[in-house]
Amino acid sequence: MKRITVEELLREDAAGIVIDIRSQEDYKKGTFPGAVRMDAAGIRESREILPKDRPLCFLCHTGGESDELVCELEEEGYDAYSVAGGYRDYLRYQLQNSLECAPSATDGVSHMKSASRLVDAAERSIIKKFRRELWCRFTKAVQEYELIQDGDRIAVCISGGKDSMLMAKLFQELYRHGRRNFELVFLVMNPGYNEANYQRILDNAKLLNVPITVFRSEIFNIVASEESSPCYLCARMRRGYLYSKAKELGCNKIALGHHYDDVIETILMGMLYGGQMQTMMPKLHSNNFEGMELIRPMYLIREKDIIHWAEYNDLHFIQCACRFTENCASCGGTEKGSKRAEIKRLIAFLAERDPVIESNIFRSAENVNLNTVVGWKQDGVRHHFLEEYDKQTE
């Protein structure tokens, strides 16, 4: 099976036809220069749509699906190649190229200045263009939920996705423009990312001028054999490792990048799949790490606004980098097919008919009337309405 790298494909003498076999939606968001789109299923059903007189270079998300297709086509005599690393590798090449661009012959501007302009624009857009959607909602959550106190040393936990990278930039802006009554550590855990995902995190941190501290764990290897609930185990272990490393670095808080949409999805997931009413709290004391606290300063920020900020600044982050999804051709390294994705689609469906539904779900966790609740649990103790029933009147 033959592969071709992104660098080889970008050469001027490259004669192959690039065929993007990702979804129409992904193709519209961005593709390789000059690439045409064809469905992999359509290609398998009818080879007649493929020319045999030129090399064919197939592009998918990570190279996995294109590898399979090329193996089939080679057996039938096609001069077919799989683009190594897929579209992700092309994005990584773009990012590295922007960081390593040569100095201009006319004005002597170096690649560092080019990168500096990009980070300046990204930072400025937080305060200017996205002030109401991002900055104001971030600072409102910090104040309303009292997330930062004098003397805090906060480990800003960066997974490499859009949410945590924006959170890092928001914290930098808060430190720059607000009261400097706290300290920051930008913490990245590598639980076993593949090389491309890990490099993307390092590149984006460098590009956005986020001084990260990196440490390694073996979480992906540990949960790989878990069959029943690997995602739950992975999430619990991640948090434990982050707490432990943050405490080792002298921090008393860890900050996670969960946003408004995560909150409302969690509420519905608990009801529909867990048979319970609970929410994702804006802050929590750790049960296992004394003196440590978890805060969620993105609590009031909508996911669509995070996406808009990233796209506006032409920033590309990793999505789900889990070992179970990173090479999945059907989801492209996202969480498609998960229970959370089902809930996300359900909320979107309902919100199309009544936009107030999302805010009502969010507020429902703030407006619980215990007089109309049959049972509840507090501090691990289960209570029932009959305990106080005879003392109440309608």
How far is Cα 371 from Cα 203, in angstroms, rounded to an integer?
53
pLDDT of residue 216: 87
Helix 303-312 and helix 111-127, axial crossing angle in degrees, nearest 10: 150
Residue 105 predicted with pLDDT over 70: no
Considering the entire predicted model, what is its pTM?
A: 0.68
Residue 342 carries which side chain, given as an amino acid letter? E
Rounded CA separation 207/317 (Å): 12
The DSSP annotation for 201-255 comes to HHHHHHHTT--EEEEE--HHHHHTT--S-HHHHHHHHHHHHHHHHHHHTT-SEEE
Rounded Cα gap, residues 294 and 174, in angstroms: 18
pLDDT > 70? residue 44: yes
More confident position, 240 or 179: 240
Average pLDDT over residues 155-178: 93
**Average per-residue pLDDT for the chain:** 85
Amino acid, res. 189:
M
Residue 221: its pLDDT value, please? Answer: 66
Provide the β-strand partners of residue 3. 82
Q: Residue 279: phi, psi to the nearest 5?
A: -135, 170
**Tokens 């440590």, residue located:** 292
Helix (H) or strand (E) holding 154: strand 152-158
Handedness of CA 36, 42, 46, 47 (dihedral sign): positive
DSSP strand pairing (375-378 vs 381-384): antiparallel
Supply the DSSP symbol for 55: -
What does the pLDDT average to over 307-322? 82
**348/342 Cα distance (integer angstroms):** 10
Average pLDDT over residues 82-88: 90
In contact, 207 and 118? CB cutoff 8 Å: yes
Token pair 């800003």 in the structure block, residue: 156
Q: Report the C-alpha gap between 310 and 126 in whole angstroms.
A: 11
How does pLDDT run across 4-18, given as a tens digit for each residue?
998 888 876 677 789
User: Which of 193-202, 271-280, 319-328 is the most confident on average?
Assistant: 271-280
- What is the distance between the alpha carbons of residues 239 and 354, in angstroms, rounded to a whole number? 36
CA angle 347-351-353, nearest 5°?
130
Task: State mean pLDDT over 341-364.
Answer: 94
What pLDDT is stored for residue 223 in this prediction?
64
Tens-place pLDDT, residues 277-309: 999 999 999 999 999 999 999 999 999 999 999
What phi and psi values does residue 351 have, to the nearest 5 degrees? -70, -25
Residue 265 pLDDT: 95
Residue 109 confidence (pLDDT) above 60:
no
Q: For residue 12, what are the contacts with CB-CB under 8 A and spacing of at least 6?
A: none
Average pLDDT, stretch 250-259? 96
322/238 Cα distance (integer angstroms)? 12
Question: Angle at the Cα of 263 (from 144 to 137), degrees rounded to 5?
Answer: 40
- Grouping H, G, I as helix, E, B as strand and the rest as coil, residue 107 is coil
Q: Which amino acid is at 34?
A: G
Opening angle at CA 178, ends 173 and 182, nearest 5: 90
138 pLDDT above the threshold of 90: yes
In the sheet that holds 182-190, the strands lie side by side as: 212-216, 182-190, 152-158, 253-255, 293-295, 283-285
276 pLDDT higher than 80: yes
